[in-house]
Each structure stands twice: as C-alpha cells, then as structure tokens.
Structure 1
Amino acid sequence: MTGRALIGSLIGGLIVALLAACGDRGPAAEFWMPAELGAIRSLWIGSLPPLPPSPGNPVADDPRAVEMGHRLFFDPRLSANGAVACASCHRPERNFKDGLARSQGLGQTRRKSMSVVAAAYSPWLFWDGRRDSLWAQALEPLEDPAEQGLGRVDLARQLGDDPDYRRAYENLFGPLPDLGDRARFPSASPNGDAGQRAAWATMTPEDRHRISTVFANAGRALEAYQRRLLPGPAPFDAFAEALLAGDQARANTLLSADQRQGLRLFVGRANCIHCHNGPLFANNEFHNTGVEAPGTAPADRGRADGVHLLQADPFNCLGPFSPARSQDCGELRFVKSTGTELTGAFRAVSLRNVADTGPYMHNGRFTTLTEVVDHYNRAQSSGISTDLEPLRLTAVQVQQIVAFLDALSAPLATPERLLRAPARADRVSGHREDPATESAPAASRNTPRL
C-alpha cells in the first residue's frame, strides 16, 4: 500500500468511526441558553408563590366564608329575574368564562367575561382594573342592570330570609339588620335602574351604610370562594420540571418538537413574555394592543376611565367599607392615573387554559389563537402606544406558538365539589371540610417544587 493510499484508508476509517459514535449517541440534544432556562423557571407553576393576603377582607381564608361564597356564586336567586348567577358568566367547564364575545345576563355587557381563576393574584380586577380586590369586584355584577340587577337592599333581604344564609352570615359578620320595614328599606340600589336609584336616595345615610356593609360582606364571602380557584400543573409544567432537573430526555417526551420551538419563540424572538410572564403567564398590567381599527380613537377607553372608577369606588382598599390600613394599600395609593398610554389599554390576562377559552381580547374580536398570534405578528399600530412591533414570524412559527399555548391547559387545582353548584348536603350550614385537603388555599398544593 502506498503512503497516499494508507493516509486515505486511515481518514476513511476515522470518518466511519466518528459516524458510528454519533449514531450511538442518537440525535443531538437541544440546547437551552441560561436566559431561556431562567425564563422557563419563572413561568413554571412551581414558582407560583402563596396567595397574597386580602387586606380588606378579614374572612378571605375562613372555610366558613368559602362555603357561603360557594353557594352565593351559584345562586340564581341573586338576580332580578331569579335566573342569573355569577356562574352564568363564569362557568366552571369553560375555565370560569362563558365563551361569548359579550356576556349575557339580564342584558348584554360591554366586554367579554374574564376568568376568575387565580384572580386573587392580581392587584386589579376587570379588563380596565376598576376594582382592586376580588370582594369589591364581586359586588358590581350583583347590582348592574345588565348583569344580575339585584337591588342592594334586596340582596340583604335575601340573606336575612334564607335560614342557611342568615346563619352563615351572622357566624362570620355578626347580626343582620332588621329589614322588616319596607318603607324604610325599599328595593333600592345606588347603581341599579332608575327606580332603584330613586329609592336609594330616599333612605337615610345611616341605613344606606348598614345595607352597604351587608353588601360588602357578601362580596367578602364570594372572594373567599374564588380564592380557592387555582390553576393546576399543565404539560408545560411537567416539561419545565424535568428540564430544570436536568432530565432533558424525559422533558422532550412531554412536549412535541413544535411545542418546544413555540416555547423558545415565546420567551425569545416573539417576546410574548413581555406581557405574559410569571407562573400565571400574565403581568396584570395594562397595554394597548391595537385591537381597535387603525387611525381611530378607541371607542372603549379602557384603563384611562377604569383608573378613575377605581379611585372613586367606595369599596376600594382605602374606602369606608375596608378595614385595611393605609400602608396595606400601596397599589392604590401610588396608582398611575394619567398618561396617553392608558387610553385603550386593557389588562394582560393569564394564558393558562387559554386554548379552551375563546373568543379572545376584551371585545371578543378573535375566534382562534391563530388569529390572536397573527394579530401580534402583524402588529397593527394603535396610534397611541408602542407596545407592539412586527414579529415577522413565518406561518409555521405562528402555529408553533399556538401549539405551545395548547400545552398550558390543565384541570384546576381546586376540590371537585367547589367546581359545581352545592348540593343540599353541602350548603353553608351542613358541610364540614376535610382539613387534610381543604383547610387552606395554599397555591403550592398539587404543584411540584425543586
């Protein structure tokens, strides 16, 4: 064998050996940059902290209030026609939304319903943030003529006339006022229809305060129930847990290649994480995302109006019906209330279970997630803010992000009985919780941690 032939033989053998070695190792492992891993950890449900306190609600985590609020939430008698409950627009089987572009109560609402799952983590409620607690938020639909339309006095009377409600209320909050004098306590509400508002004006300030105190306490019971509505671990969370533990082989079996690429785009080039960050995939801040027609002033001013409604709300953290201390109300005390960027801005919502909860956006404009991602990909200018920039994603990349969003769906980490209307045996006077499973609304229950 000549020298040249010998060299050629050796090189050929080396190439064969290298190819064989590569074949033994299988496909090359995916590489995640440290910044990507940090983002994945921040989105993982294992990073979800315990529920924050509710400064204006002393019974927020009282199991008795949970039971009372559970019944209130599903009770259609808390409406002017006896047919509309909180659960009519916040349906458990739809992740506590209703699947409509505009919710339907006694009339039609201005905006799409929002999920109340994990809403206790947000400092602001409603699309425009016009309430600053779940208990204050729960009050508005009860007397809104387009939703439940129940007079504030009528609600207090319902609580007093029902033996179970009366017992539950008085165990939590003390005696209900005597509402036997109907001339003194007519069907009245400051935010109801014209007749209810006129009747409210005839009541003395002291009686209005008594009724509003009962009203606020009903909201506190509703909040206690809604604080138990928490997200459960989704396929993404199982992937994140395996990846963060260094088991990439297992992680790759938990999300498809398209879902993994969609995740990489979500935390990277597409920058979805700018607004949808943290373990709830939401920063709960306000953004104008160009949903209105280009070149027009927003018909719905969003946060620009919502912040002033918040400040005027008598049930806010600093209001006369809140026992919170001023130092516990920092979000409200230092809220941003001016700026053109508030016009047409709406709260970024959680993307957990988003695949099952269309239509999308505050006005229900988009039917599918593909339409939503394509909207951000094109980045139509709002003419007001600079929240959007064209992403220039391919059609395949758009679908990869949609595939990743599918991996955020999971059953709630909430006892099954709380996801349906209470049976007679479960009503507020009869049910007793199993302290091993339901005594505290710890967000970390059923979630893995490293």
Structure 2
Amino acid sequence: MSRTLALVSTAAILLLATGGILTSRGGTDGWTEQERQRIASLSLSSLPSLPPDPSNAVADDPAAAALGRDLFFDIRLSANGEVACASCHLPDRQFQDGTPLGHGVGETTRRTMPIAGTAYSPWLFWDGRADSQWAQALGPLENPVEHGSNRKDVVEVVSGNYRDEFTQVFGQAPDEMPLDLAFASVGKAIAAFERTILPERSRFDAYADAVAVGGRSDALTEQEVEGLRLFIGKAECLNCHNGPLFTDNDFHNTGVPELTSLPPDLGRAEGARLVQKDPFNCLGEYSDAEPADCMELTFMKGSGEELLRAFKTPSLRDVAQRAPFMHAGQMVSLAEVVAHYNSAPPAPAGHSELVPLNLTSEEQDALIAFLQALDSDRHQQVED
C-alpha cells in the first residue's frame, strides 16, 4: 500500500467533515458533530500505522536502523570532517537547526526541514525532488554546500568503519558492490533510522481525544480552544494543514516573499523535474520497488503554473519550537506568519492560493496560542 493510500482513512474523515453542513451547537463540549470529526482527524490517535517503503528492502530492519543512526551522526561523511546529518537535523531541536538557512560546509539556500513523520510523505525536500527518505538522504552527501563529499569517498568511509555492520544488513561489503548500489544502500540505512523518528503527543492530542467522543477536557485554555475553532473554520488552515501530521504533504504557493540575497527559487516547478530524472527514485534501478509500487511518481503532476514557487506544506507539530519559518526563514515569528496568511499578499511569481482572512488581532492571537499548544508534551515539560 502506498504512503498516500495509508492516509485515506484520515482524509475520508476530513472530507466528510468539510463536506457537511454544520448543525447547531449542542452538548456540553460546545462543538458540533462535524467539528468533532475535524478535531479527531487531527489527533495522533488517528495516525495510521507506519506505511511500508517498497523501494527500501531494509526500511524496517533494526540492524539497518542501528547502522543508519551511526551514519546519521558521523562527521566523516563530509568533505571537511566536520558535518554530519545531525549538524542540521539536531535531535534536541526537532531534527532541524533553528537557522534561516542550513549550514554545512557552506550555506544553503533553504531552511532545514524537520524529520519526524516524514516516512508518511511521498515527497521530500521543500520542492519534493526526492520521493523517498533514502533518496533524500543521498542528496546532502554530495551537495557542495552541505556535506560536500562524493559517493566514492562516502562508500570508502563506510567500508573502512562499518564494513561488518553494512555486510550484515545488505549481505555484501560496500567495497564489493557497484559504487552506485553501495551509495544507495548508505541512504537506505539512514532512512531506516529516520523512519523511527515520529511525532510526539501534545496537549492538543489529549484535548482532541476527549472531544472526539463527546467529552470535555481542560488540556487547552479558552484562548487555545478559540484558536482551534479558527484553525478548523474561519482561518482555513485545514486546506493544507490537515491530518494528524498537520500537513497534506503537497505543494502550495502561498505568496511567501523572495529574498533578494538568494537566487530565484522555482519550488515544485523545479523539484518535479528533478525527481523524475533522479536515478535513485522509486522507478530507478537502485529501488527495491516494483513499478506498481510507484504510483505517486508515475502519476505526479510534472508541470503547470500552479507549481511555480509552490513549496511543501510543513507539519505544524512542535511548530513553535522551529522559528524562523517558511522555506528560507523569511519570517521570524508565528505572529508574522499568521499576519501574512491574514493579509494574503500577491506572490512574487506564480499565483498565490491565499485569500484575505480578515481575522481580528484577538483572533490572530488565539490562533497563535493554539499553534503553541501543538508542542509535544516533552517540550511542555521542559518549559514548565
């Protein structure tokens, strides 16, 4: 079953909720039945089991995950011996780095994305130029401003330091494999580790689970509840931030401003082209999938004006911990983000999907309060 199909049950709940006519409010919780369904669809309790990755035969192998974890933290996989995957994807910062642009051996042109829950997504990177976690893991290794290495050097490091572990997982030593196959296998091991990184519960989840069965909960404040009401209604956040991961895993032009210090960024318009020609994609010779397992890639939309400057919808879980925001860190606070969506400015290129929301300042504050309630329980405990 594809990763997209794995979320059908959640999407169906959302479709039912958004397609119905709201009834009058009733019951002690103050929510209509349709609103309760919307809220329930956002809870981690609605998250389906982790979908398989047919393109990665070792995706759920514990030995592969253990090897992948070691590789994820190994700075020897970089040109200068100072950069690991964990240099930008910091475990104590939601597996991102809190900077506007990622920093490896040089500076990138985009924000570091978090990892939790990406095993559910058919597309990786802000532009979706990879269609699996393992294909995504390979890109930074050879990017001249990230790890700055090359596949030959990467395989030599793995062969010299993880030969036995690699052989146990893949049945052959890396230096005995064709170079590109060994390199792809490195990505598959890293992906096996990344599949274990999942979102954690928040106060919102406790509230949503109670509301879903018609109960009440004091897990959210009155202001946060009002923000939730806006989130699933007037603010139209569910258009893109839906499901238990608060993302549709799709691409949207939301009029995010360009930075004059960076080259023009075409977003999904370029990413669609790159993923189709990627030798490590689902249909490539290094994939373990059958063609029938690669429906997302086979039937993806590859062109059209709506792809221009369209960027992937990020998850909102723990979003308050991940400033600055947008694909190049253009906005420094949630208040700035909400104000942007409220005013819906024209896109610098392509066509923005936004329309003005006409939220009052009090409503904007409530929406921000709700977004902060999506912090995981672990972060809430640290702050307390």
Distance 1:37 1:155, change over 3 A: same
Return the offset for 1:110. Answer: 1.1
The reply to whether residue 100 of structure 1 matches residue 99 of structure 2 is yes
Deviation (angstroms), 1:346: 0.2
Distance 1:42 1:364, change over 3 A: same
Instruction: Give the structure 1 partner of residue 363 of structure 2.
Output: 397
* Greater mean deviation of Cα atoms: 320-329 or 378-387: 378-387
Show the counterpart of 1:166.
Answer: 163
Q: Quote the residue 1:229 is aligned against.
A: 197
CA RMSD, Structure 1 to Structure 2 (Å): 1.7
CA-to-aligned-CA distance 1:185-217 (integer Å, 9 cap, x gap):
xxxxxxxxxxxxxxxxxxxxxxxx811111100
| 1:148 counterpart residue number | 147
Three-state SS of the structure 2 residue aligned to 1:254 is: coil
Structure 2 vs 1, CA of residues 359 and 386 (structure 1 numbering), >3 Å: closer, same or farther? Answer: closer
Where does residue 311 of structure 1 map in the other structure? 276
Q: Does the CA contact (< 8 Å) of 1:231 and 1:411 recur in 2?
A: no
Give the SS at the match of 2:75.
Answer: coil
Which residue of the partner structure matches residue 339 of structure 1? 304
Shift of 1:344: 0.5
The reply on whether 1:213 has 2:158 as its aligned counterpart is: no
Deviations 1:98-144 (A, max 9, x none): 00111110000110000011111100000000000000000010111
2:325 corresponds in structure 1 to 360
One-letter amino acid of the counterpart of residue 407, structure 1: A
Unaligned runs of 5+ in 1: 1-27, 180-208, 414-450
Q: Aligned in 2, Cα 1:138/1:412: closer, same or farther, shift over 3 Å? A: farther
Give the corresponding residue for 1:330: 295
Contact 1:231 1:412 in 2 (8 A): no
Alpha-carbon displacement from aligned partner over 1:260-279 (angstroms, at most 9, x marks no partner): 00000000000101000000
* Native 8 Å contact 2:166 2:174 kept in 1: no
1:72-111 matched pairs, under 5 angstroms: 72-111=71-110
Name the CA distance, whole Å, in 1 between partners of 2:202 and 2:298.
36
**What secondary structure, in the 3-state scheme, does the structure 1 residue paired with 2:193 have?**
helix
Q: Secondary structure in 1 aligned to 2:167?
A: helix
In structure 1, the partner of 2:24 is none
- Tell me the residue number matched to 2:213: 245
Structure 1 pair 178–288 and aligned structure 2 pair: CA distance change class (3 A): closer
Deviation at 1:226, TM superposition (A): 0.4
Flag the 1:178–1:324 CA change in 2: closer, same or farther, 3 A. closer
Please give the alpha-carbon distance, in whole angstroms, between the structure 2 residues aligned to 1:125 and 1:159: 24
Alpha-carbon separation, structure 1, partners of 2:98 and 2:257: 21
8 Å contact from structure 1 (residues 284, 347) kept in 2: yes
What amino acid is aligned across from residue 234 of structure 2 in structure 1? R
- The letter for the 2-side match of 1:170 is T
Q: Offset at 1:293?
A: 5.5
The alignment covers a number of residue pairs equal to: 349
Deviation of the 1:411 alpha carbon: 5.1
Match of 1:282 among 239, 247, 267: 247
Deviations 1:398-442 (A, max 9, x none): 0100000111111579xxxxxxxxxxxxxxxxxxxxxxxxxxxxx
DSSP 3-state at the match of 1:77? helix
Give per-residue Cα distances to partners, 1:223-277, cap 9 Å, x unaligned. Answer: 00000000111000000111223321xx1x1100000000000000001010000
TM-score (norm 2): 0.88
Q: Which amino acid aligns with 1:338?
A: S
Q: CA 1:116–1:178 in 2, change beyond 3 Å: closer, same or farther?
A: closer
Counterpart among 372, 380, 383 of residue 406 in structure 1: 372
Aligned to 1:137: 136
Give the direction of change, closer, same or farther, for the CA distance of 1:285–1:355 in structure 2 (3 Å limit): same
- C-alpha change, 1:72 and 1:121, in structure 2 (3 Å) is same
Partner of 2:5: none
4+ long deviations beyond 2 Å: 174-179, 383-386
Q: Distance in 1 between matches of 2:169 and 2:324?
A: 39
* Residue aligning to 1:47: 46
Match of 1:169, SS state, is helix
Distance 1:84 1:411, change over 3 A: farther
Q: Is the Cα contact below 8 Å between 1:45 and 1:237 reproduced in 2?
A: yes
- Tell me how far 1:169 sits from its aligned partner: 0.5
* Residue matched to 2:3: none
The aligned runs of 1:8-19 (5 Å cut-off) are: none
Say if 1:76 and 1:85, in contact at 8 Å, map to a contact too. Answer: yes
- What is the distance in 1 between the residues matched to 2:143 and 2:258? 29
Unaligned runs of 5+ in 2: 1-26, 380-384
Q: Any conservation in 1 of the 2:255–2:345 contact (CA below 8 Å)?
A: yes
Are 2:226 and 1:261 aligned? yes
Of all paired residues, the percent bearing the same amino acid is: 49
Corresponding position of 2:21? none
- Structure-2 change in CA distance of 1:100 and 1:293 (3 Å): closer
Q: Paired residue for 1:443? A: none
CA contact (8 A) 2:37 2:212 kept: no
Give yes or no for contact 1:230–1:412 (8 Å, CA) kept in 2. Answer: no
Q: Give the deviation of 1:387 after TM superposition.
A: 1.1
Measured in 2, the distance between the counterparts of 1:144 and 1:133 equals 17
Q: Which amino acid counterpart does residue 93 of structure 1 have in structure 2?
A: D
**1:127 and 1:362 in contact (8 A); partners too:** yes
